[in-house]
Chain A
Amino acid sequence: MSNETYSSSTRIFKDLLDEIGKVVVGQHEAVEQMMIAILCNSHALVESNPGLAKTLTISTISKALDLKFNRIQCTPDLMPSDITGTYIIEDIGGKKQYRFEPGPVFANIVLADEINRASPKTQSAMLEAMQEKQVTVGNKTYLLDKPFFILATQNPIEMEGTYPLPEAQLDRFLLKILMDYPTFEDENEIVNRYTKNITPSVRSVVSKAEVLELQRLTRDVPIAEDIKIRAIKIVEATRAKNENIEYGASPRASIGIILAAKARALMKGRNYVSKEDIDAMAYPVLRHRVILTFESERKGMTTDQVIADILKNVK
């Protein structure tokens, strides 16, 4: 299986991206990063303005991967049991008994839309599921299906009535993906596709078993020592004295960069991690882990600019 999956991995990724491209116009980097998060068996946080096809993108990916997809619209009154599931009383043959009704978190790909609108208690329940890949209701623990991937979204505007995720919880997301407005050509294509009677559809190109195999292969991608050291130095540089950074990234970020770089290398059809992979993945891995100082925020600096500076200076 490994041999077959590996030898056909280049074709798999090409087919997958082509298939997703039938529905999602542009957003290549965001799609690639979502795929990377899935390959790393981790989770991603997406930040974008409304209407940029976050839900469409992730649902399309789940269809192309032949995975079960659930969507949770987070609101302040959303309860933890609304996510994890709860026991219900069921009448079977005149005998009443409790039965566990799994919540939407029991899926392979879960879209937690506007996670910052959920209460901290609900956020915690979801983040626990993310970390442990299991849910405990009452005295019983239920394992979540594999692969398990949560894509949480945040809206950068309309911050009123939201509960911003604490830094410690943000750290659990491998990547923070930014989705930007499409180019004129892409928007023209979007209009052409979605103003006709025929809605673009997607077919499954990868099986669940293949996804799991690809996740395993990701960790097998070798990395050279000096490239590994570069990744660690980049993360270390965020903790070093830097006038723009209030708090730097944790060692989890070092693991994240290397793992994401391995997944990127596999997606690009390479059997080794390149320096280019490390530099490319430093942005989505670090941008939610680095907290800028008030002064740099006042100057209008972004975390991506600070990361770019770090990448330039790390040898």
Chain B
Amino acid sequence: MEDFLDKLQKTRAGFFSRKRLVFFLDLIAIFSILYAIFTIVNLDYLLSKSSIPSSIPINIIPPAIAIIIALITSTLLHKKDKKTNVIRLIENKYPELKERLSTAYDNRDESNIIVDSLKTFVSESMTSVSPSMLLSKGKIISKIMITIIFLAGMAYISLNPQGIQIPQNTLDNMTKTFTGEEQNNTGLTDLTGIPVNVDNSGAKGSGDIFGKPKIASIEGKNIDLTLYTGDNTGTTISDYNPTNNQFIKSAAFPVDVIGSNVSDGGYSMLMAKSETEKQLINQYAVERSKI
């Protein structure tokens, strides 16, 4: 009859080899998921646009990142594996060995009639112990199946990225949105939600970026309703387009600037307007303040 310590050693070795297999299956599964995600998000293209030195081949970076993350994740998932108490596992699976195996193991160096009888009983009972009972075959097979599915998925995505992969121009727009870079009107969807065909005329400092009317026509007479702001205020338009931002002359408001010794912020000009214009401007200001 095999000594229970030898049998325990074999069971422990068998259990940990199965645990290692599960570790590698998890590693492959996580790598497959990550690599598939990297392929979908076209990480190669994104990296090629970044400031990575040209000496590093871009195409090895996504799998390298995937394997590193997979390795770290798998290690974290299995970090308690080495601390697994195999004796406790055996005792839980084989009730006839409960408390007996741990007692026999803890007293393995002792010898008396009672300890010896316990060791004999444990050795006899250990013959039925199998590592497959501690980590079931079904669990390992299901893990293998899941890993194969993930691997197949990854292979399909990486070999047929068309239709799945995010287009490069979408990535460009997303990059610009995230980095806050200038956008050009390519006719694509504006991701910021700002309408493309905005009236940008007279934009800077006007406080009106969506083309609300600035010239009111009263009895055939155009009246400038622009609200002048103070210095360093107003709205900065990020999608500033110089072609649409040409200064437009207003018949109602002369462009020539009359020199003034003291700036009154346009007060004198306002005061020069008729009462009807003043009321209209006042009404406009009130209405605007409600928006």
A-B pairs with beta carbons under 8 A, tally: 49
The answer to whether A6 and B117 touch (CB under 8 A), given A220-B112, A222-B110, is yes
Q: Is the CB of B114 within 8 A of A223?
A: no
Q: Which residues of A contact B107 (CB under 8 A)?
A: 222-224
Q: Which residues of B contact A6 (CB under 8 A)?
A: 113-114, 117
Q: Is the CB of B121 within 8 A of A271?
A: yes
Q: Mark B102-144, 1 if CB is under 8 A from A, else 0.
A: 1111110010111101100100000000000000000000000
Q: Is the CB of A220 within 8 A of B113?
A: yes
Q: Is B100 in contact with chain A by the CB < 8 A criterion?
A: yes
Main secondary structure of the interface of B (DSSP, over half): helix
Q: Is B99 in contact with chain A by the CB < 8 A criterion?
A: yes
Number of interface residues of A (CB under 8 A): 18
* Among listed A44-52, A113-121, A246-254, A272-280, interface-contacting one: A272-280
Most chain-A Cβ atoms within 10 A of its Cβ — which of B99, B102, B110, B115?
Answer: B99
Nearest-CB residue, chain A, relative to B98: A274
CA A100 – CA B13 in complex, angstroms? 69
Q: Is A225 in contact with chain B by the CB < 8 A criterion?
A: yes
Most chain-A Cβ atoms within 10 A of its Cβ — which of B102, B104, B106, B114?
Answer: B114
What is the distance, in angstroms, from B288's C-beta to the closest C-beta of chain A? 70
Our pick among A222, A226, A273 for the contact of B104 (Cβ within 8 Å) is A222
CA A224 – CA B87 in complex, angstroms? 12
Q: Is A2 in contact with chain B by the CB < 8 A criterion?
A: yes
Q: Is the CB of A225 within 8 A of B115?
A: no
Nearest-CB residue, chain B, relative to A273: B103
CA A6 – CA B117 in complex, angstroms? 10
Q: Which residues of B contact A97 (CB under 8 A)?
A: none
- Residue positions of B touching A, CB distance < 8 A: 99-100, 102-107, 110, 112-115, 117-118, 121
A sample of 18 inter-chain contacts (CB < 8 A) reads A6-B114, A220-B113, A220-B114, A221-B114, A222-B107, A222-B114, A222-B115, A222-B118, A223-B106, A224-B102, A224-B103, A225-B102, A225-B106, A226-B102, A271-B117, A272-B100, A272-B118, A275-B99
Query: 3 closest pairs, A vs B, by CB?
Result: A222-B107, A272-B103, A224-B103
